Amino acid sequence: MNMIVAYDIADPRRLYKIAKIMEDYGYRVQKSIFEVDIDEIQFRQMKARVEEVLEPKEDGVKYFSLCRRCAGTLIALGVSKVIPEEVDFLIV
């Protein structure tokens, strides 16, 4: 499943931890936005790891699922990054 994950984390230490978790699953496309392409089990693992760090009253994380067709219609202007097809990620 292809997803966009966006987050706003109030504490710099939690922000760093969330970013490190996201790097295990996807590719940073903006400062607090990642694109991930994972299966359902990996998504549940990623979400559980994020929930361990997240402070719900101060932080926010949103997961946007993209269908394959929608993900293929990306329009990017200016500086942007796209997941290269050959990139592999290590899920820990």
Q: Which region among 11-15, 35-39, 71-75 has the lowest average model confidence (pLDDT)?
A: 71-75
Distance CA 66, CA 17 (A): 25
Q: Is residue 24 part of a domain?
A: yes
pTM value is 0.79
When pLDDT is averaged across residues 37-44 and rounded to a whole number, the result is 95
Q: Which region among 55-59, 66-70, 87-91 has the lowest average model confidence (pLDDT)?
A: 87-91
- What CATH number should be reported for the domain holding residue 41? 3.30.70.240
* Angle, CA of 28, 25 and 22, to the nearest 5°: 55
Q: Which region among 15-19, 58-62, 65-69 has the lowest average model confidence (pLDDT)?
A: 65-69
Q: Is residue 32 part of a domain?
A: yes
Q: Is residue 56 part of a domain?
A: yes
Average pLDDT, the chain: 87
Which range marks the domain in which residue 15 is found?
Answer: 2-71
How many domains does the chain divide into?
1
Distance CA 81, CA 4 (A): 13
Q: Is residue 87 part of a domain?
A: no
